[in-house]
Chain A
Amino acid sequence: MKRDPQDLLQTGRDALSGLSCEYAEIRISCGSGTSISLSGDDIDSFSTGESIGGSVRVLKDGAWGFVSFNDFSEIKRFARRAMELALQIAGSEKSSVAPYGPVRRRFSTGAGKNINDISIDEKFQLIRSYNNILKSSPDIQTTRAIYRDTVSQYILLNTEGSEIIYDRSYCGVSLSSIARSGSVIQPFHNSISGYGGYEIVEDREEIAEEVVRTAVDLLKAEAAPGGTCAVIVDPKLAGVFIHEAFGHLSEADFIHENEEMRRVMVLGRQFGPEDLNVYDDGSLAHLPGYTPFDDEGVLPEKTALISRGMLTGRLHSRETAARMNEKPTGNGRAINVMRQPIVRMTNTYIDKGPYSKEDIFSAVDRGIYAIDVIGGQTNLEMFTFTSGFGFEVKNGKRGKMYRDIQLSGNVFQTLKNIKMIGSDLQMFGGLGGCGKGGQSPLPVSFGGPHMLIEQVLIGGKQ
């Protein structure tokens, strides 16, 4: 049901006005969504639904009380309850928030084709046409084609006087083909998503074509030999590398109360080569990590995490900013209004460097060209990620194809081992996203140019 945002704002104002505390905020969302999932010749699921939700977060005497709900008739009571919860634990050690704002604005994901104007039949036909491409080779055993959209109105208000209304629409497709030849089974997958209109998912036949082609090619690919070698990573893998291996280290909640991490992450410390520049920027419109404001009402920044190889910044929520006496960066994010904001990335990338892709290839006598990514994980010291496929590189030339390649290493050593950074920066991000603190998936994007990294550990038989 459409609710009047002005009514919700007024309800929020009333609920906040009774609270005597350092800080409080109310977040409310009302939306609808469509999800279609096709698999081979079957309709896996097709659903539409409506979701509402809200939360109140109160900081009182240095302690947080948080209440989430989907019953809007009692927002005032929930606000009082959040205050009571905070009081129950107040008096132990203190949290505080960096002040910000007030921000009184209305945002919209803006132009393009309004998703609500597109019929469900049109959405179905679109994803079916992609699914037909995904299964277009006789070597394909099955497919998975997913379309998803959500259109919602998000309202945030806080005791600093911020009142924000955000009309947002998000959509994307996720496309997989699984090729099979006897006992060899090879999946391949790609996905695209973003904030904006229906045009984000239209005319994406090329993605489906590339997915089916790669899955079939992979049937004949060999496993990469294990050991340590030079690796050329493609822009997508470069992006996942910087997100997983370095980006998470820049999230100040890992640093702010941990003396050892603070020593490791000292601003000014040399982390990589002179050509290495890394940014997180939530203001990049349309990308999945676009945040016109974060879930604490802070406007986005282009934060330079690494400049000329040197550590120059980190990502903050209001709480970590206050604790480290730095400015909030607009990185307090939650997967939905029913969860608390924590420090998260937005759109994170390695900026372009001086070399062409050809320069990079001609610098490699023997190595691996690793392309695309299946997944990645880090424990903030070591990382593992799996490249979708790759090729042997011999004397600067592409050789035979390898299937999924597991790359692993020590984060700091690997950053130092970046030898060449290309000039072909590209951004990526699909349905799904990043997971942290039990909140997954949070839409983010990542990117970079081609890069040459030396001494990367490849998992496998030697």
Chain B
Amino acid sequence: MIDSLIKKLPDTVNWFDILSTEGTSTSISFKNNRLHSLNEKQNSGSGIRINVDNRTGFSYTNDSSNMDGIIERALAMASYGDREGFLLPGPAPAAFEPFDDKISLFDTANEIEKGSSVIAAILARYPRANIDVSMGASQGLTRIVNSSGFNATYRNSFYSLSVSITVIQDDGTKIDVWDSISSLSPRDCDEIPGRLLERIRLAENTRSAESGKIPVILTPRAFSRLLGIVASGLDARSVYRGISPFGGKTGEKLFNEGFTLTDDPTITDSPYSYPFDDEGVPGLRKDLIRSGIIENFVTDLKHAEKLGLIPGGNASRGYASLPSPSFSSIIIGGGTASMESMLRNMGRGLLVEQFIGLGQSNTLTGDFSGNLDLAYLVENGEITGRVKDCMLADNIFSLLGGELVLSSEREQTGSVLSPFAFFPAVNYTR
């Protein structure tokens, strides 16, 4: 199909690339403590980028019975495109695949058993809890063909399991907790119920703290949410637009020297890795912030050309859209302190697990503000209960530029591997 499409391209074409994806997935969902539905999905599609007279046009379709018109549409768009002079990558094989054969071991009966036992374990402790569990397995193919001779395909597989629990206490107070895992093939989830039950148990008592500056430890999950604000400034597109706070600051030390943020699409066994990005550029491991110094930005070919950057494999797109810069796996360097000692040394402060409404504010300047969905008061180094109906509002850039302690323990949340982070004074409002 793709080959016949290429034959139809007119001679005026300067360069082209085609991205095709196809995949199938199966998912199981438990809603409100019971098995609810079993789903299957089949999906495919192709998008073509055509450069004529240094201007690029784009079109897509997912109707494989009718590819007619896609080239004409892309050509028609090209006359509106910006001037782009970058070169597409030449031939290269897929060095590895984010794929594990064991994905085919995904077994509905087995997964249902897993889900039922998670629910049973939680109900044994909280009989009135409402629990949703879902698990899914997908596999697919990504193929990229371009006019520089690149023609490679890789397989991907993805397994995920997520659990969310709502417990409403006698006084009407609601406790929501959730957790998820993702991997290349089915995995056990034995650790999840215990972890979630502990979070609920610690939240049963409500405590309060006075408004003002307060020491805060963010869990890896909360810290990675907040780092989304930093990450958006490390995107070459925002640098190009002049709205990144880090634009023109490569080599400058903006943050605490304990802080290192790395983008790594090459980690083996990670479903967030890939041999080449969605423009065919090989994925490279790169420090974006090293010891507090701005080192690099994630970019696609277009912004690499505009900013004079070396593309490191961070273009992302589906078949129906043009590429844009995106992160693969994000790794935050750990420190030397144990989480245990951080809690002990904090004395009195907050341990923050979940925010609501983070990142809706003007995050370009690093300002953030979020209601504490799940956070605990720490007194004498011990968690004594939950604080609620309160907010943290501060600036993440200045927090990261000041005193910061990172734990040696790190946890994976989605595509981010992060330690616990301690800040001595964060603005707290209730």
Contact = CB atoms under 8 A, between A and B. Distances in A.
Interface stretch (B91-99, B237-245, B405-413, B416-424): B237-245
B80 A46 contact: yes
B80 A124 contact: yes
Contacts of B4: none
A461 B58 contact: no
A95 B29 CA distance: 13
Contact of A461 (B57, B242, B390, B427): B427
A146 B70 CA distance: 22
A46 B369 CA distance: 34
Contact of B42 (A68, A93, A403, A461): A68
A37 to B, nearest CB: 9
Interface in A255-314: 256-261, 264
A403 B369 CA distance: 13
Task: Name the interface size band of chain B.
Answer: 35 or more
A159 interface: no
B214 interface: no
A47 B322 contact: yes
Contacts of B59: 47-49
A227 B243 contact: no
Pick from B37, B57, B65, B320 the residue with the most CB of A within 10 Å: B37
A75 to B, nearest CB: 12
Interface in A370-391: 374-386
Contacts of B321: 45, 47
A345 to B, nearest CB: 18
Given A340-B39, A462-B429, A257 B362 contact: no
A67 B39 contact: yes
B58 A46 contact: yes
Contacts of B128: 259-260
B174 interface: yes
A276 to B, nearest CB: 20
Contact of B82 (A43, A86, A383): A43
Pick from A42, A67, A89, A92 the residue with the most CB of B within 10 Å: A89
A385 B358 CA distance: 9
Nearest to A410: B389
Contact of B112 (A39, A69, A89, A120): A89
Contacts of A426: none
A64 interface: yes
A141 B38 contact: no
Contacts of B208: none
A63 B35 contact: yes
A16 to B, nearest CB: 18
B391 A462 contact: no
A457 B429 CA distance: 8
Contacts of B81: 43, 46
Contacts of A93: 34-35
Pick from A184, A381, A404 the residue with the most CB of B within 10 Å: A381
Pick from A51, A376, A383 the residue with the most CB of B within 10 Å: A51
Contacts of A338: 41, 43
Nearest to B132: A437
Contacts of A381: 172-174
Contacts of A43: 80-82
A186 B362 contact: yes
Contacts of A49: 47, 59-61, 70, 73, 320
Interface in A239-258: 253, 256-258
Interface string A185-211: 111000000000000000000000000
Contact of B370 (A69, A183, A253, A384): A384
A71 B37 contact: no
Contacts of B60: 47, 49-50
A183 B365 contact: yes
A48 to B, nearest CB: 5
A226 interface: yes
B147 interface: no
Given A46-B81, A63-B35, A85-B40, A379 B243 contact: no
Contact of A142 (B243, B360, B390, B391): B243
A69 B41 contact: yes
B173 A64 contact: no
Interface string A39-82: 11011011111111100000000011111111111000010011
B82 A386 contact: no
B361 A89 contact: no
A459 interface: yes
A112 B242 CA distance: 40
Contacts of A377: 356-357, 360
A382 B360 contact: no
B32 interface: yes
Contacts of B356: 377-379, 382-384
Contacts of A86: 38
Nearest to B108: A88
B221 interface: no
A460 interface: yes
Contact of B41 (A67, A89, A374, A403): A67
A334 to B, nearest CB: 12
A330 interface: no
A313 B278 CA distance: 48
Interface string A436-462: 000000000000000000000111111
Contacts of A51: 61-63, 320
B199 interface: no
B336 interface: no
A409 interface: yes
A178 interface: yes
A385 B166 contact: no
A376 B35 contact: no
B54 interface: no
B173 A185 contact: no
Interface in A406-451: 406, 408-410
Contacts of B57: 46
Contacts of A259: 128
Contact of A1 (B68, B173, B359, B391): B68
A46 B82 CA distance: 10
B73 to A, nearest CB: 5
Given A340-B39, A386-B361, A185 B243 contact: yes
B364 interface: yes
Interface in B374-430: 388-393, 427, 429-430
B44 interface: yes
A93 B166 CA distance: 20
Contacts of A223: 367
Contacts of B28: 89
B389 A409 contact: yes
Contacts of A71: 42, 44, 64
Interface in A208-242: 223, 226-227
Contact of B77 (A120, A187, A264): A120
A180 interface: yes
Q: Which 4 A-B pairs have the closest CB atoms?
A: A384-B357, A375-B360, A260-B168, A64-B37
Interface of B: 28, 31-45, 47, 57-66, 68-70, 73, 76-77, 80-82, 108-109, 112, 128, 130, 166, 168, 172-174, 176, 211-212, 241-243, 245, 320-322, 356-357, 359-362, 364-365, 367, 369-371, 373, 388-393, 427, 429-430
Given A50-B69, A406-B369, A459-B393, 12 more contacts: A67-B41, A120-B80, A141-B241, A142-B241, A185-B362, A226-B429, A257-B32, A379-B373, A384-B356, A406-B391, A410-B389, A457-B429
7 contacts: A1-B63, A45-B321, A47-B59, A92-B34, A141-B243, A384-B391, A386-B361
